[in-house]
């Protein structure tokens, strides 16, 4: 009796965790990526920079490598932008100090 009860509880819990949607088209993937990237835990803050990237390919390894390269490129671009803002502020501060 205990074994049957444990098996039934296990099956019920397994069915509760099967809410994963299957991605069947590129549009499904795009909507998943948009939902994932815009969720509050995956967005940048004042102290943390987060980026999202995705790619399509028949080979999973190629898609993974391409998305990693895209994410690194986005991160580098953001880093360069922030550095240029800091440099502009420093130049402004120094020019005001010299006046």
Q: How many CA atoms lie within 13 A of 6 on its CB side?
A: 3
Q: For residue range 4-42, list pLDDT tens digits in order.
A: 767 665 655 665 554 566 667 777 777 777 777 777 776
Q: 71 near 64, Cβ under 8 Å?
A: no
Q: What is the pTM of this model?
A: 0.55
Determine the pLDDT at residue 11. Answer: 57
Residue 64 and residue 35: Cα distance in Å, rounded?
Answer: 19
Query: Which range has the worst mean pLDDT, 43-47, 50-54, 81-85, 92-96?
Result: 43-47
pLDDT digits (tens, 9 = 90+) for 81-95: 888 888 888 888 888
pLDDT of residue 39: 76
69 pLDDT exceeds 80?
yes
Helical ranges in the chain per DSSP H: 2-16, 26-38, 60-98
Give residue 74's pLDDT band: very low, low, confident or very high (50, 70, 90).
confident
What distance lies between CA 48 and its chain's CA centroid?
A: 13
């Amino acid at each position: 009796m205990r074994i049957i009860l444990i098996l039934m509880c296990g099956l019920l819990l397994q069915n509760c965790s099967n809410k994963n949607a299957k991605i069947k088209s590129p549009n499904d993937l795009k909507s998943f990526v948009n939902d994932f990237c815009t969720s509050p835990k995956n967005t940048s803050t004042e102290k943390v920079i987060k980026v999202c990237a995705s790619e399509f390919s028949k080979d999973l390894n190629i898609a993974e490598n391409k998305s990693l390269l895209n994410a690194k490129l986005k991160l580098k671009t953001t880093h360069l932008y922030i550095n240029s803002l800091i440099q502009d502020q420093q130049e402004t501060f120094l020019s005001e100090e010299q006046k």
